[in-house]
Amino acid sequence: MMMNDHQTSARHQKPSAAATTRTSTGGLPTPRRTLLRLLRVWSLAVVVFGFGLALTYAWFSWLLNEEQKRWMLWMHVVALPFVGGVCVVALPRRWYRPIHDALSRWTAGGPVDRSECLMVYERALRLPWDVARSAFVAAAIAYAVGIAVVYVGAHLPFIEIVKTLPAIPLVGGMQGAFCYFGTARALQPVLSWCSIQLRHPRPLFRASLEAKFLGTVCVLAIAAVCLLQPAAYKLGQIITERYMGDRALTQLRAAAVRLSFVTRPAERLMVLQDAALGSQGYVFESNVADGSIISAHPRGYRHVAEERFRESDLSRWDREGVWVDRVGQHRVVAFVRSMNPPHLFTSVAFPSDFALPLQQFVRFSWVVAFEVLGIVILLGRYYTRGVTSPLAELTDAARKIAEYGDLSQHVPVATNDELSDVARSFNHMVEELQASKTELEEYTKRLERSTQELSAVNQEMEDVLRVVSHDLRAPLINIQGFSTRLAPVIQDAVDTLQRAQSRCADQALSEHITALRQELQSRCAESLRFISKSVEKMDALLASLLAVSRVGRRADPPQPHDLDAIVDDALATVQHQLKEAAIQVIRHPLPAQVPCRRNEINQVFANLVSNAVNYMGATGIRFIEIGGRDTEGGVECFVRDTGIGIALEDQERVFQMFTRLQAVDVPGEGVGLSYVRKILRAHGGRIWVVSQRGQGSTFYFTLPRHQQRTAEG
């Protein structure tokens, strides 16, 4: 009787194998730890580069009034966290999510799928580059938002905004480099584990060590130039402003003294004009009480408020002082206060009138900066060549050894650093490989000689076995024939004795003839039956030995066959036994187009099913299950029964010739499983059993998709 897949109980089902494997998760970093390391890197990038450098650059480059301070505070508290949080934290977190989900499944004990492992490996390689680009874009977006804020909302002059252009390569480049190396470092354990699982993962894209090092050097050099150049400009600007402030205050003091003796408006105006500093500078007189401008103002202002001085600076007006206004128009403001009358003399000077030396200094500093940048790049290139050239030689030598087996490679030791240690270790490894190769070649030659001798001995043994088996069959046939001929002769003798008894008048002689006839009839018939059974058993044994000796020696090569059709033929030979033993057969789909010799694999299934029937025992649940699946290099089939089982210590012995372990009345010679193993070895497969005494047995065997003749034995 046969059943389909859905009719069997779940406890007897063999789980089908997919493209997943149960792999040890030893060394796999936990998803929580990996995520925390990544968030730490990304948060540091936002705080250090989004707030630290940007805030320092903006706050100390300008002297802001109250309105502009509010806008700047809004930009750093609202805009920067939002842009940085989205581009440097939220988006990378979303890109990392598939990696995190896979790590969570694996650490929970889930199967490791190769395609999923490859996905994690490639995403972990790509993520540092994506985060670096996103960080640079975040700097550009934040800069654009900052321009809109300070230009539109705070009315900051565009020239002052241009001064902050270096913030893009400074913040963006350094933030991108930091995010790249930090993310790569955080994902290093994940990459290492996936690389071990994949064995030989293909590179996603090539990024040479030289390109990485030069790129990092260039980013840092450009960032340094972008940072130092504004600092140098700031230094020159401060010197110019200090000079202008001192000079403006000196001239304003002198003008205040002179004006205390001058009363005519025209003369007072001339004194104020003489105190002005530079071609654009001017001096005016105002009333301290109400802030109204008393003297003629070159711009027509009537009140001090129109000058848009900062309230914090106006509150400090006491006797005299100087401050620099970098908001709006860049100007140096000096003031002197007279007590009688309570007037305020204010001098406004513009650094642009004295900017020629500063511009020359800036041009010179730019030239020096670019020269330093070029020198740094040149030195970095030669330094990286000094590092990558030995590594390239080492890589080339390793590639030749791996691809061509050329152990004559020798890496030159041209430095006295860690690279030289690597080269020496590599050369020592090559020498050890050469010695091992020589020893292996000698061992291989000895093994080949031993194999040839063993093959010759096996050939002789098989020839002897074949000849002996063949020659022994002739005497057996003769014995069988003579025993068959003896039966009628004995019967004739019995009939003759019976006729003689009927004609004999002597009672004693008649009794003697009767005893002789009965003895001849019983003992001779029993002896003939024993001879016949022994001859049949010996003939079956010789047939099995001949079958074993012929395995693998046939000329017909393996051909693609459907295993389901082979099982149909095998079950047809034991169908009567299955019905008599009331055994059900559960069949699962078997692989198709498997290269094999049909008759031999038919014998494999027939022997395994016949053994399952013979050793079923008196169990209540009586079924035989047959199934199989495709594996990476071939197919794996199984025959499972609910019989008496095999003890663990006997599971290897059952495949030895003439071995019968069970003390039950089962016909056989103990050759079947040895015959099966030899067939499968000749096909390049193998067979094993999983069983427990009293719980049935499962015989597994494999067949390769690409046939390769293996050594017999």
Average pLDDT for residues 580-598, to the nearest whole number? 90
Average pLDDT for residues 182-210, to the nearest whole number? 76
CA distance 603 to 609: 10
User: What is the band of 10 on the pLDDT scale with cuts at 50, 70, 90?
Assistant: very low
Q: What are phi and psi of 659, to 5 degrees?
A: -105, 125
pLDDT at 9: 39
Average pLDDT for residues 366-382, to the nearest whole number? 74
pLDDT at 2: 46
List, in order, residues 6 or more apart from 524 with CB less than 8 Å away. 486, 490
pLDDT at 230: 67
CA distance 164 to 591: 71
Q: Which amino acid is at 663?
A: A
Please report the domains of the chain, with CATH numbers, ordered by start residue.
Answer: 24-207 (no CATH), 241-357 (3.30.450.20), 438-550 (no CATH), 559-704 (3.30.565.10)
pLDDT at 97: 92
Average pLDDT for residues 196-207, to the nearest whole number? 66
| Least confident stretch, 234-238, 437-441, 608-612 | 234-238
pLDDT at 588: 93
Burial classification of residue 261, based on how many CB atoms lie within 10 Å of its CB (0-12 exposed, 13-18 middle, 19 or more buried): exposed
Q: What are phi and psi of 338, to 5 degrees?
A: -105, 140
Average pLDDT for residues 504-510, to the nearest whole number? 73
Q: Return the bridge partners of 635, or none.
A: 630, 703
CA distance 427 to 696: 57
Q: Helix 507-550 to helix 418-503 angle, to the nearest 10 degrees?
A: 160
CA distance 398 to 550: 47
Across 1-10, 12-21, 169-178, 446-455, the highest mean pLDDT is recorded for 446-455
Tell me what percent of the chain is helix, strand and coil, each rounded to the nearest 5: 65, 10, 25
Residue 16 has pLDDT above 60, yes or no: no
Q: Which amino acid is at 241?
A: E
For the chain, percent of residues with pLDDT exceeding 70: 73
**Mean of per-residue pLDDT scores for the chain:** 77
Average pLDDT for residues 575-595, to the nearest whole number? 89
- Tokens encoding 387: 């590092």
Contact 306, 348 (CB under 8 A): no
CA distance 234 to 351: 13
Q: Return the bridge partners of 127, or none.
A: none
Q: Which of 357, 369, 372, 324 minimizes the C-alpha distance to 166?
A: 369
Residue 711 has pLDDT above 70, yes or no: no
**pTM of the predicted model as reported, rounded to 2 decimal places:** 0.47
pLDDT at 154: 58
